[in-house]
Amino acid sequence: MRDLIIIGGGPAGLTAGIYASRARLDVQLLEMTAPGGQILVSDLVENYPGFPGGISGGELMERMAEQARRLDLSIAVGEVTSVDFSGPLKKLALSDGKKIETKTVIIATGATPRKLGVPGENRFYGRGVSYCATCDGPFFRDKVVVAVGGGDTAVQESLFLTKFAKKVHLVHRRDALRAARILQERALGNDKLVMEWDSVVTSINGNDDVESVTVKNLKTGKARELAADGCFVWVGIEPNSGFLKDAVKLDEQGFVVTDATMATSAPGVFAAGDVRNTPLRQVATAVGDAAIAAMSAEHYIETMK
Ligand code: NAP
């Protein structure tokens, strides 16, 4: 039986692994594919201290994973499908049928992009509809694309798209962006980025690939069909917490509720990073959460003795 199982290998999971390994806990990190998490798709992380020129999400995560491996963190591929946190020993069931028992758990499963839910979104996924500018932006060189959303992701990624596309229509449902001021300033000062204020996408259209996007102005009620080769959707995130069911308390959106020590409603179970109900979702806050969660797990194990 392990001291600690960390579920998820993004910035929060790897940081928890680094701290737990240094505390000499018998710890294993489970990750569905390879370590990295959502930040992998970010071409430039400018607000993680220590990298004055910024660093790509991919390189930052490579460095975190290397650091964890140097400290002998065991990283295994495994998808947790259900949990039983009712007893003193925590039980995890994996998709390959394996069962794991552990004294403590850190949930660091992050979040995934929310879908728009409009006609054409699923049909044209991979054929013009995308959730990742770093992955797909280069396919849109000298083309016109529509982007949707008004948060940090939408604005930052739309700015990245302007390096390739000749024009980016950024469709936002209100008349003010939610994104950080520095990103707003860059967006509003970029000639290739055209704001479509007070508007929503109602359908994504085409034959084999995306050919146009229908955008409705919420103030006038008028719909327009914008000719476009792609549609990038960045309308927020949803927590990867479905496998938890009723094992820990979740908020109304499904994010895991914790206290200041990162403890969930189940004793011995902690959460860190984007899956947690936190006011700020950044690499910096995820790694901070994780350091606290690892320390809390260590303290909890001490009290079991
Ligand atoms: P977000 O901050 O929740 O923003 C989602 C955006 O999508 C909002 O502008 C929202 O509009 C809009 N929206 C939501 N549902 C919609 C719908 N059905 N139709 C049309 N628009 C819709 O999500 P995010 O930008 O993905 O960011 C997630 C977290 O990661 C945030 O905490 C963010 O700060 C963080 N992040 C930080 C950075 C950075 O620091 N550089 C980069 C990326 C992400 P309203 O504004 O009207 O609500």
| Phi and psi, residue 10, nearest 5° | -85, -165
Phi-psi region of 298 (alpha: psi -120 to 50; beta: other; left: phi over 0): alpha
Q: Is 132 a catalytic residue?
A: yes
SS3 257: coil
Q: Which of 212, 233, 254 is the last residue of a domain?
A: 233
Please give the Cα distance from 280 to 259 (Å, whole number): 15
Average pLDDT over residues 181-190: 97
What is residue 38's predicted lDDT score, i.e. its pLDDT?
A: 85
Please give the Cα distance from 41 to 30 (Å, whole number): 20
- Measure the N-to-C terminal CA separation of the chain; round to a whole number of Å: 15
Please give the Cα distance from 84 to 288 (Å, whole number): 27
Same structural domain for residues 227 and 188?
yes
What is residue 57's predicted lDDT score, i.e. its pLDDT?
A: 92
CA of 277 to the centre of ligand 1 (A): 15
Task: Identify whether the C-beta of residue 234 lies closer than 8 Å to the C-beta of residue 150.
Answer: no
Q: How confident is the model at residue 37 (pLDDT cuts 50, 70, 90)?
A: confident
Please give the Cα distance from 114 to 233 (Å, whole number): 8
pLDDT > 70 fraction of the chain, expressed in percent and rounded: 100
Please give the Cα distance from 104 to 110 (Å, whole number): 18
pLDDT > 90 fraction of the chain, expressed in percent and rounded: 92
Spatial CB neighbours of 110, under 8 Å, sequence gap ≥ 6? 8, 10, 12, 37, 38, 239, 240, 273, 274, 275
Please give the Cα distance from 186 to 295 (Å, whole number): 39
Task: Identify whether the C-beta of residue 141 lies closer than 8 Å to the C-beta of residue 186.
Answer: no
236-254 tens-digit pLDDT = 999 999 999 999 999 999 9
SS3 287: helix
CA of 67 to the centre of ligand 1 (A): 30
Cα–Cα distances in angstroms (integers) from residue 229 to residues 167, 193, 211, 225, in the given order: 11, 15, 5, 12
pLDDT of residue 161 exceeding 90? yes
Other C-beta atoms lying within 10 Å of the C-beta of residue 11:
32
Q: Is 115 in the pocket of ligand 1 (CB under 6 A)?
A: no
Same structural domain for residues 206 and 158?
yes
Same structural domain for residues 122 and 199?
yes
Query: Which amino acid, 257?
Result: V
Q: Is 47 in the pocket of ligand 1 (CB under 6 A)?
A: yes
Task: Identify whether the C-beta of residue 206 lies closer than 8 Å to the C-beta of residue 125.
Answer: no
Same structural domain for residues 100 and 158?
no
DSSP-derived secondary structure letter, 286:
H
| Phi and psi, residue 297, nearest 5° | -65, -45
Same structural domain for residues 70 and 40?
yes
Average pLDDT over residues 24-45: 90
For the chain, give the mean pLDDT.
96
pLDDT of residue 196 exceeding 80? yes
Q: Which of 233, 259, 277 is the last residue of a domain?
A: 233
CATH of the domain at 156: 3.50.50.60
pLDDT of residue 305 exceeding 80? no
Same structural domain for residues 295 and 284?
yes
Same structural domain for residues 137 and 57?
no
SS3 63: helix
Expressed as residue numbers, the domain containing 8 is 2-112+237-304
Same structural domain for residues 252 and 214?
no
Tokens standing for residue 177: 């962006």
- Count the residues in the chain: 305
Cα–Cα distances in angstroms (integers) from residue 125 to residues 162, 165, 214, 255, in the given order: 21, 19, 16, 26
* Higher pLDDT pick, 39 / 211: 211
Average pLDDT over residues 103-125: 96
| Phi and psi, residue 126, nearest 5° | 85, -5
Same structural domain for residues 121 and 88?
no
Q: Is the pTM of this model over 0.85?
A: yes
Same structural domain for residues 157 and 94?
no
Q: Is 206 in the pocket of ligand 1 (CB under 6 A)?
A: no
Q: Is 231 a catalytic residue?
A: no
Which among 3, 136, 152, 229 is annotated as catalytic? 136
Ligand 1, atom nearest to 152 Cα: 25
| Phi and psi, residue 263, nearest 5° | -75, 135
Q: How many domains does the chain have?
A: 2
Same structural domain for residues 72 and 144?
no
Q: C-alpha dihedral over 242, 246, 247, 251, to 10 degrees?
A: 70
Which among 26, 84, 132, 198 is annotated as catalytic? 132
What is the CA 234 to chain-centroid distance, rounded? 11
Same structural domain for residues 39 and 120?
no
Average pLDDT over residues 137-163: 96
Q: Which of 233, 252, 269 is the last residue of a domain?
A: 233
